Amino acid sequence: MNASLQPHILDLAGYVPGEQPQGGGFIKLNTNENPYPPSPRVISALADAIGDRLRLYPDPLATEFRRAAADLHGVSPDMIMAGNGSDDILTILTRAFVGVGEIAAYPTPSYLLYSTLIRIQDGREHVVPFSADWKLRPADVARAGLKLVYLANPNSPSGTALSRGEVADLAAALPCPLVVDEAYGDFADEHAIPLVRDFPNVIVTRTFSKGYSLAGIRLGYLIARPEIVEQLVKVKDSYNCDALSLVAGTAALRDQDYHDRMRDRVVATRSRLTAALRKMGYSVPDSQANFVWATGGPPAEPTFARLKERKILVRLMKYEGMEPGLRISIGTDAEIDRLLEVWNETA
């Protein structure tokens, strides 16, 4: 059987998502889920949607959902496309833009899925290191023949973000689409959606997994020029979003009050955790996301193991040419108090 497999698939290591422990009792700060529940309006919209209508296929074009997203961002619904999580959106974009042997770029250290997606296409990677202060020089990213650029902004694992002006400078320098992956845009001071008007190559992706507490639902979307959306719709699965996820996402978008209140709580806890880790001697960049990135203190691996032993799960990240670091999702205040207590006890 393996002899029939494409060699580049056989060579692929495969993306490894963060651990989802099956046993209970963990304080889970490793995959950037939101520590707060989804909006009560989401729960009641889902309850109303469960019934006879589930016999029918969902709306393949997610019309009502797109209208809600368009209203929120002040764009037209034909600039929105929904996906089964933003990972599905990233897959659709890669399939649409990157062919065999063609080049796509992404910065490092960043979201590791971009590499996997390019390799599935048998494309070639142009990997651009961030500078020490987490910036990118557009001239280092741009090159002839480039077909797609991915930019997680805010970035993971650093939590840092390029300003809207810096994203615009990058878009202007590129001969291809720039995918601004705003999975953490809900927690950031700025976002790139206004750039879609002036830069036809800017495509912004969003998810419900982090800012809307709906990682279990699998829903994301992109904002791009209508002529791009029209082409991408041909690449996606007809029914890539199920009826329940669309109902949940629509209700979540329409409850911005709740969204903003939960964001403010996460952002307040983020400041507190950043200050505490810095006091313990770690180097922690100012985060624009719902996690922080700690390096430069006591070695990360034993710390990770000690925390795990005490049932606290953070993310140990190893990137080539860098010392390992710890990426810590922002939990509730009680969870972060407990993290700091255990960390200080076992240090």
Ligand X SMILES: *Cc1c(COP(=O)(O)O)cnc(C)c1O
209 touches ligand X (CB under 6 A): yes
Q: How far is the CB of 2 from ligand X (least distance, A)?
A: 29
Q: How far is the CB of 106 from ligand X (least distance, A)?
A: 10
CB contact at 8 A, 185 and 152? no
Segment lying near ligand X (by CB under 6 A), choices 37-45, 79-87, 161-169, 221-229: 79-87
CB contact at 8 A, 206 and 86? yes
Instruction: Spell out, one character per residue from 87 to 106, where the chain touches ligand X: x when CB under 6 A holds, - when not.
Output: x-------------------
Amino acid, single-letter form, for residue 194: P
From residue 136, give the alpha-carbon distance in Å to each of 126, 127, 129, 295. Answer: 13, 12, 8, 20
End-to-end CA distance of the chain: 50
Q: Whose Cβ is closer to ligand X: residue 65's or residue 343's? A: 65
116 touches ligand X (CB under 6 A): no
240 touches ligand X (CB under 6 A): no
Pairing type for strands 220-223 and 202-207 reads antiparallel
Binding residue for ligand X, selected from 152, 222, 300, 312, defined by CB under 6 A: 152
CB contact at 8 A, 336 and 265? no
Binding residue for ligand X, selected from 185, 220, 325, 331, defined by CB under 6 A: 220
**Distance (Å, whole) CA 74 – CA 76:** 7
Q: Whose Cβ is closer to ligand X: residue 276's or residue 294's? A: 294
Binding residue for ligand X, selected from 34, 91, 115, 156, defined by CB under 6 A: 156
From residue 43, give the alpha-carbon distance in Å to each of 36, 84, 259. Answer: 13, 19, 14
Q: Which residues from 263-322 bind ligand X, rule CB under 6 A? A: none
Q: How far is the CB of 296 from ligand X (least distance, A)?
A: 23
Tell me the HSE value of 17 on the side-chain side, using a 13 A CA sphere: 7
Which position's Cβ is nearest ligand X?
Answer: 85
Binding site for ligand X (CB under 6 A): 85-87, 111, 152, 156, 181, 183, 207, 209, 215, 220
